[in-house]
């Protein structure tokens, strides 16, 4: 693809802003970058690679001449405009949940299933943030010793919900410390100094949709529909980076030292695991960084073939913008 023209849809959002940052930091070979958002943001100026660019309202005509369109404006906007963008000749990398489980749409984490990129018909889906960091850590282990079962509890930061949620956490924290009532707006209950086991909507089976995405998306990305997965997704008062406590059952025993050896060579993974020196990843250190950080690797005392891991990653970068740009980079290389 010579002279790549890029459109960012949802450019003013949390992930949209990160798209701009990541494209610049990685020197993405874009001839032009066009910014689109809702009519609320029309006319706003945003700095892109040192140059002020005006944000425009997304319309069906926005995609003429565009080669790659990065979407992060919610599932409704993606459903409305991605097919139009694809028809206009762009390849869409969509961060919403709109097309992830569509059998015609590849769902890609470049460290796991880059070969699926080539199967696209105009739209490629970027997975859910919690799923991305989990499969980046699990896939190299799965290749060495097939995984049979995974149970995971997540500790998800408020930036996953967007800018309004970040404002809600910081605003509530101030109010609580001043002894004033913290009125919830974005979340159903106070999120400052609290945790809520409630991300996305509740399903009939008792799981939330966020939890169910971790089941279905893991199967699709790893091409491993037989892995049994159960998740509990929890919102915590952290601004950036999601953490996960993961219990893995392998086909045969896996020593923690073997897992450390495999993960220390795995793409996109940094092992931080030295209990004697209190070395383990946590959200504050992971925010703003690219890798998926893994620590607390130990034998699962409840199962002979089990391991327990602690996995932390920046949900806005690897969980969203960086993963999408890595997909776009592979499209450009083709
Ligand atoms: O349906 P989904 O897939 O679950 O996604 C729903 C929302 O989740 C976020 C993203 O939010 C998306 O809008 N999201 C999706 N995938 C994510 C992921 N993997 C993800 N977040 C993290 N990881 P967001 O971060 O873009 O914004 C969240 C809310 O904050 C509002 N907001 C933005 N700037 C603000 C602000 N609030 C206060 N002050 C500010 N300065 C934001 O409102 C949103 O409600 P918004 O209007 O800015 O809309 C979010 C983005 O969508 C663009 N948009 C809206 N309508 C259109 C549109 N773009 C094109 N055409 C439209 N018609 C907005 O321009 C903005 O970029
Ligand atoms: O499905 O609010 O990609 O933390 C990821 C962020 C769903 C909501 C997705 C959040 C979104 C989630």
Output the CA torsion sign for 304, 268, 272, 232.
negative
The per-residue pLDDT for 1 is 47
CB 130 within 8 A of CB 209: no
Tell me what the pLDDT averaged over the chain comes to: 98
Q: Which ligand is nearest to the CA of 13?
A: 1
| Per-residue confidence band for 2, with pLDDT thresholds at 50, 70 and 90 | low
Distance of CA 305 to the CA centre of its chain: 29
| Per-residue confidence band for 3, with pLDDT thresholds at 50, 70 and 90 | confident
Which residue ranges make up each domain of the chain? 4-127+320-333, 131-314
Q: Is 200 exposed, middle or buried (0-12, 13-18, 19+ CB in 10 A)?
A: middle
* pLDDT beyond 90 at 75: yes
Give CA separation, 115 vs 75, 219, 268, 334, in Å: 25, 16, 17, 12
53 CB within 6 A, ligand 2 = no
CB atoms within 10 A of CB 3: 10
97 CB within 6 A, ligand 2 = yes
Nearest CA to ligand 1 atom 26: 13
Q: Which ligand is nearest to the CA of 14?
A: 1
Ligand 1 centroid to 182 CA: how many Å? Answer: 23
* pLDDT beyond 70 at 328: yes
Nearest CA to ligand 1 atom 22: 160
Query: Tens of pLDDT along 85-113?
Result: 999 999 999 999 999 999 999 999 999 99
d(CA 118, CA 133) in angstroms, rounded, equals 22
The per-residue pLDDT for 235 is 99
The per-residue pLDDT for 334 is 77
Q: What is the mean pLDDT of residues 153-176?
A: 98
d(CA 78, CA 81) in angstroms, rounded, equals 5
Query: Tens of pLDDT along 252-268?
Result: 999 999 999 999 999 99
Pocket test for ligand 2, best of 93, 97, 318 (most atoms within 8 A of CB): 97
Give CA separation, 20 vs 9, 12, 25, 220, 245, in Å: 11, 10, 9, 28, 31
Of 14, 223, 67, nearest in space to 135 by CA: 223
For 4-127+320-333, give the CATH class.
alpha beta
Ligand 1 centroid to 71 CA: how many Å? Answer: 10
CB atoms within 10 A of CB 59: 11
Query: Tens of pLDDT along 140-158?
Result: 999 999 999 999 999 999 9
Of 159, 157, 175, 10, nearest in space to 77 by CA: 10
Q: Which ligand is nearest to the CA of 37?
A: 1
What CATH superfamily is the domain 131-314?
Answer: Dihydrodipicolinate Reductase; domain 2 (3.30.360.10)
Query: Tens of pLDDT along 25-57?
Result: 999 999 999 999 999 999 999 999 999 999 999
The per-residue pLDDT for 174 is 98
Percent of the chain at pLDDT exceeding 90: 99
């Amino acid at each position: 693809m010579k002279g790549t023209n890029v459109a960012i849809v949802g450019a003013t959002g949390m992930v949209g802003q990160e798209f701009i940052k990541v494209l610049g930091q990685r020197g993405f070979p874009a001839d032009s970058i066009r910014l689109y958002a809702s009519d609320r943001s029309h006319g706003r100026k945003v700095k892109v690679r040192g140059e002020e660019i005006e944000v425009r309202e997304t319309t069906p005509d926005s995609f003429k001449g565009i080669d790659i369109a990065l979407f992060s404006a919610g599932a409704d906007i993606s459903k409305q405009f991605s097919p139009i963008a694809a028809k206009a000749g762009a390849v869409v990398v969509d961060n919403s949940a709109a097309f992830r489980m569509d059998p015609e749409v590849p769902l890609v984490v470049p460290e796991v299933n880059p070969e699926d990129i080539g199967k696209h018909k105009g739209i490629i889906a970027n997975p859910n943030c919690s799923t991305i960091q989990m499969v980046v850590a699990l896939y190299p282990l799965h290749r060495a010793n097939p995984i049979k079962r995974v149970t995971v509890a997540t500790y998800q930061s408020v930036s996953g919900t967007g800018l309004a949620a970040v404002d809600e956490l910081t605003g509530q924290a101030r109010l609580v410390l001043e002894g004033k009532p913290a009125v919830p707006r974005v979340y159903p209950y106070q999120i400052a100094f609290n945790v809520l086991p409630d991300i996305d909507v509740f399903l009939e089976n008792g799981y939330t949709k966020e939890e169910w995405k971790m089941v279905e998306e893991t199967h699709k990305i790893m091409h491993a529909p037989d892995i049994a997965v159960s998740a509990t997704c929890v919102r915590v008062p952290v601004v950036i980076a999601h953490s996960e406590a993961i219990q893995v059952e392998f086909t045969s025993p896996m020593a923690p030292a073997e897992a450390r050896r495999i993960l220390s060579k795995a793409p996109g993974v940094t092992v931080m695991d030295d209990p004697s020196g209190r070395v383990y990843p946590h959200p504050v250190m992971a925010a703003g960084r690219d890798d998926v950080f893994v620590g607390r690797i130990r034998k699962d005392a409840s199962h002979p073939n089990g391991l327990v891991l602690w996995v932390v990653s920046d949900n806005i970068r690897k969980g969203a913008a960086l993963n999408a740009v890595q997909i776009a980079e592979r499209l450009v290389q083709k």
